[in-house]
Amino acid sequence: MNVMTVNTSPFENASYINLETYKKNKQGVKTPVWFVQKDNTIFVVTKEKTGKVKRVKNNSDVKIAPCNFKGTLKGEWVSGKAYIVDSQKQNEILDARNKKYGIKSRIANLISFSKGNYVVIAIQT
């Protein structure tokens, strides 16, 4: 896949982004999520049994916007393409997420234990 870049400046000081993924019927599903930025790409760490993973696999079109933890927007929507990152890059992104969110990410790991293995979604515009 060709690497495209995203203007990540609207997200630099944000703790959350609102990630909109799409069902097969094209209905959007908005989810506030933690994220990390690396190499002009936005990365979202999630678990394999979440709906957003299924939706990204079926449709790579996404939108993202900076938001608060409840999903209230703090900026404009940006359209992009999402894909699942290979396992080599995954550990690097997990480390970056743990560094950014600290103890909160470790608590989230315990809470989401039953949702399967980690999956990293990369988002580019």
State pLDDT tens for residues 20-59. 999 999 999 999 999 999 888 999 999 898 999 999 999 9
CA pair distance 114, 118, nearest whole angstrom: 11
CA pair distance 95, 100, nearest whole angstrom: 9
Ordered by where they begin, the domains of the chain are 9-124 (2.30.110.10)
- Other C-beta atoms within 10 Å of 124: how many? 19
pTM of the model: 0.86
93 or 115: whose pLDDT is higher? Answer: 93
Residue 1: the pLDDT is 42
